[in-house]
Amino acid sequence: MEQFLAAKQSENLSPSTLANYRQHLITPRAATFRRDHGIAGPGDLTPEHLQLFQRELLAAGVSPALTHAYHRVWKNFYRYCLQRGYARDADVLVVRAPKLPLVEPEAFTVAEEVRLLATARPGRDRLLIEFMLRTGLRLSEVVNVRVDDIIDGPDGAYVRVRQGKGAKDRVVPLDSPSHKLSAKIRTYIRNGRPDAETAHLFLSTRRVDGGGGYEALTARGLQIYLYRLGQQTGIHVHPHKFRHTFATRALSAGVDVMALQRVLGHTTLPMVSRYVHYQKDDLLLAWKKRRD
């Protein structure tokens, strides 16, 4: 398992992805299952074992989504073992994952967005909320954006996302006909962002050692801020909810699915298709226009 994790690290996977791999392979729950069923090494794992493990997880109240994650990681690990001769039964890779229920991605309403922006303090906090709503970046990507990643190109302004999930750079447009986010970012950089040695766009509000310079905002710091904002507004505020909101609104505005896939940094269309399933307004409008 440690060899597998080291190999994944060499593929430049994000720290959070590596942590999830480790959790699903070396968690006490997984270790107990292997011990109870005499699975001492990869070669001992059978398709029946993987199916049984999934049934036990679901019976124990583990959510289908988390059970599905266990399935993906275990099969990924087993594929690695097959390629290196540590295992032999390729039928393990044929075991089907538990079916995931189709759940509508949670998104902010317009009224909730207005309340969030009204509650957020002017300056960094308000820009953070707008930035997450208008770009759909992941939490780790938001805190890694640097000042020189904000670019005014000949065809419009965009943010360059460096080495996002999957270690692939991409660009995300900043402006739309109704929102000029790039101008707000430029104003913040000139007048609102404190001087700091780091080039990160978003900084911590506390000085180093109480009186030094400002450091980059961390992922944990952003999570804490969003939690507090949720407490203040009574709205469920979660980093991925901003991403869901961005994606659903982009589709409603007519953005092509392939273009949205590239902007979100998804590797496959099925990962974007779940947003298509829940375009209720478009569905209702099409139903009204039908010919009986």
Active site residues: 138, 165, 240, 243, 266, 275
What burial letters (b/e) apply to 2-22, b meaning 16+ CB within 10 Å? eebbeebeeeebbeebeeebb
Helix H, strand E, coil C: the string for 200-263 is: ECCEEEEEHHHCCCEEECCHHHHHHHHHHHHHHHCCCCCHHHHHHHHHHHHHHCCCCHHHHHHH
Q: Is the dihedral of CA 243, 259, 175, 153 positive or negative?
A: positive
Token pair in block for residue 166: 């999957």
From the list 186, 162, 164, the residue with the least C-alpha distance to 174 is 186
Phi, psi of 39 (to 5 degrees): -95, 90
The Cβ-side half-sphere exposure at 245, using a 13 Å CA radius, reads 22
